[in-house]
Structure 1
Amino acid sequence: MSQPTDNKKAITVGIFLFIGLVIFLLGVFTLGGQKKTFVKSFTLKVVFDDIQGLKVGNNVWFSGVKVGTIKKIQFYGTSQVQVILSIEEEAHKYIHTDSKASIGSDGLIGNKIVVIDGGSPKFPFVEDGDVIAVNTTLSTDDIMKTLQVNNKNLVDITTDFKILARNMVEGKGTVGTLLTDQQLADDFKAIVKNLETTTASANRMAKELNAFSNKLNTKGGLADDLLTDTAVFAKLKSSVAELQKTAASAAVMTENLNKASGKLNQSDNAAGLLLNDAATANQVRGIMKNLETSSKKLDENMEALQSNFLLRGFFKKKAKEEAEENKQ
């Protein structure tokens, strides 16, 4: 009885061992597939100032596709960290020497990853062991720090707006006074109304000026002829020249009249002597009076001669001839 029982136990143990070995092999191949353990690969190196929590085994992404894992992390220089990446050989033909690496996250709060961009096709492809540059874009931590600073600034701005709104409601400051003082509000309304009136007047004036300019541009009008017709402009120019000549002649005449009037005010000429010298004027009056007296006496003498019998016939004949001439 003991021998069959031992055989049964051995068979049972063998089955469990076989199942365990199968599970172990499946796990190794599964994990190896996930870690790209059995895939041909090459290495790249990146030197970071801060790896932000990267760990060995974290993934490497290229254009949104997982192409490798972090193979090793070690200190470099004085305070930097060198990260050695294991990249699938299949991605070799896409990564150029000007490619850059940066640290990202697998989701918002996921594991840290290394992200590589492709670079420019004019540069050659990377080789095994090459060091690629670091992309200096903002990391997630930097973004969070910036957001924290922005949140603080937003809180400060909100507080300031709250104080400003309270002051406005309480009528403090210029804006608060404008909002609460009825007289100022009425004055402001009056100013706005005056501005509206002024704007309307300006618009009306602009329309009138436009209409006036259209009239000036009307064909056949005097203004249009003056502005566009060279013949009319030449005639106008000639007329202006003639007016200038006439004005010059009038100026000369005025000057001559001024000189003549000046002479009349002086006593060194006959007219000026008659106008300004009282003695000469009295003499002239005496001469005129004597001439008047002489003329009267001459009339009397002529009348006496006509009455004389010796000359009476002569005067009658003379009168008869004058009468016939008047008839003819």
Structure 2
Amino acid sequence: MGTTETQQQVEYISSDSIKKRRLFRVGLFAIIGFLVLAIGIFVMGDRRNLFSKTFTVTAYFENIEGLLSGAGVVVNGIRVGSVADVKLVLNDSGSRVKVDMVIEEEYRQMIHVSSIAAIGQLGIVGDKQVEIITSDFSTPVVKNGDVIGAAPPSNYLAIIDKADQAVQNVTNITSSLDTLFLRFRRGEGTIGKFLTDDAAYNELVGVGQSAQKLFDETANQFAQLSVILRATADNVGGITKESEKLIRDLGQGKGTVGALLYDRGLYDSLETLVGTLSRTADNAGMAAREFGTNMRGLRSSWLLGGLFSGGESDEMNAELLQRELDIKREELRRQEELLNQREREILNGSK
């Protein structure tokens, strides 16, 4: 009976060991299968074009900014291949990074020998990728193993440094403005005193009142001058008519012709009168022009312009009088020339 129990115990232990070995084998195969599946998924994920027809192009970069093998290659935002190999090489121009790219055959027509490869990234802080840019589609399409150009990578550190400098400049400007406004509030400087000092304001008001008084006096003088100029213009008009009549009579041999022929004193008096009237007209015109210039200067002043904004009509009257005087003055000069001509004719006739 003891032998039977011993045999049963041995059979139980043997069957238990067999079960454990079977479970171990199953677990081992399961682990190996999961590892193979994971590796396959990883490889297939990095090499999407593993079972499609492809071709290879190469680009040489100065700096790839962390680009890794297996990174995507995109054209116009569409993935067309992947980076097959990244290798540091040495040539005559120094060390460069050789990047081999495997691209699907169906996208060959989109890549030409003039295309440029550039390092980009997915999003702001995403993985690096290669972007192929084509601007000239008239050049030949790339062949397997061709080398295309590479764009220099963006120097983000330099951009960040410039941004820091710009922020620092804005900070300095803000600080300077704060200091300037603080000085204004304290009444420092010319502008600060003007903004905070009542005496400066009162002085400005006094200047305005003085300017208004000056304007009133000038307006009165201008009114008087306008009366004088108009009277002078009327006198010149009358004298001009008399001179025309005199010259007409002289040409026809009437009236004062004899006196002018035989009395030299009368002729000289007439010539002196005409010259005096001409000079009077010149002086009146000059006074009108100077007054108009002074009025325009007062109205264009930044301080007194507002006080002298209402004299346009007076200035227009002065300009009209000035033109009238110019016409009369030209007429007097013409009459004077006619008198001189008559004098020469008389002298030639007496000889």
Shorter-chain TM band: 0.5 to 0.7
Paired position in structure 2 for 1:82: 98
Superposition pairs of residues 105-184 of structure 1, within 5 angstroms: 105-136=121-152, 138-184=154-200
Q: Distance in 2 between matches of 1:200 and 1:83?
A: 81
Paired position in structure 2 for 1:305: none
Q: CA RMSD in A?
A: 4.1
Q: CA deviation at 1:146?
A: 2.3
Contact 2:65 2:153 in 1 (8 A): no
Contact 2:55 2:105 in 1 (8 A): yes
Contact 1:56 1:73 in 2 (8 A): no
Superposition pairs of residues 291-306 of structure 1, within 5 angstroms: none
Contact 2:47 2:70 in 1 (8 A): no
Q: CA deviation at 1:3?
A: 4.7
CA separation of 1:148 and 1:246: change in aligned 2, threshold 3 A: closer
CA separation of 1:66 and 1:200: change in aligned 2, threshold 3 A: farther
Q: Distance in 2 between matches of 1:201 and 1:143?
A: 60
> What are the superposed Cα offsets for residues 74-132 of structure 1, whole Å, 9 maximum, x if unpaired?
13332433333333334322222222222233322233333222332222222222222
CA separation of 1:182 and 1:43: change in aligned 2, threshold 3 A: farther
Paired position in structure 1 for 2:342: 252
Paired position in structure 2 for 1:11: 22
Contact 2:63 2:153 in 1 (8 A): no
> What are the superposed Cα offsets for residues 146-180 of structure 1, whole Å, 9 maximum, x if unpaired?
21222232233233323333333333344434433
305, 319, 325: which one pairs with 1:195?
A: 305
Secondary structure, aligned partner of 1:113: strand
Secondary structure, aligned partner of 1:66: strand
Q: Pick which of 150-159 and 6-15 moved more.
A: 6-15
> What are the superposed Cα offsets for residues 155-211 of structure 1, whole Å, 9 maximum, x if unpaired?
332333233333333333444344334455567785767433555655x799x89xx
Q: CA deviation at 1:35?
A: 0.5
CA separation of 1:97 and 1:57: change in aligned 2, threshold 3 A: same
Q: Distance in 2 between matches of 1:205 and 1:98?
A: 77
State TM-score, norm by structure 1. 0.54
Superposition pairs of residues 203-222 of structure 1, within 5 angstroms: none
Secondary structure, aligned partner of 2:134: coil
> What are the superposed Cα offsets for residues 283-318 of structure 1, whole Å, 9 maximum, x if unpaired?
xxxxxxxxxxxxxxxxxxxxxxxxxxxxxxxxxxxx
Secondary structure, aligned partner of 1:157: helix
Q: Distance in 1 between matches of 2:148 and 2:25?
A: 52
CA separation of 1:248 and 1:153: change in aligned 2, threshold 3 A: closer
> What are the superposed Cα offsets for residues 249-281 of structure 1, whole Å, 9 maximum, x if unpaired?
895279749x99xxxxxxxxxxxxxxxxxxxxx
Paired position in structure 1 for 2:87: 73
Aligned pair count?
Answer: 227
Contact 2:62 2:152 in 1 (8 A): no
Paired position in structure 1 for 2:66: 53
* Structure 1 unaligned regions, length at least 5: 213-243, 261-328
Paired position in structure 2 for 1:31: 42
**Which has more radius of gyration?**
1
Q: Distance in 2 between matches of 1:75 and 1:128?
A: 20
Contact 1:168 1:176 in 2 (8 A): yes
Q: CA deviation at 1:21?
A: 3.9
Q: Distance in 2 between matches of 1:252 and 1:92?
A: 105
CA separation of 1:141 and 1:197: change in aligned 2, threshold 3 A: same
- 1:43 equivalenced with 2:59 (yes/no): no
State TM-score, norm by structure 2. 0.51
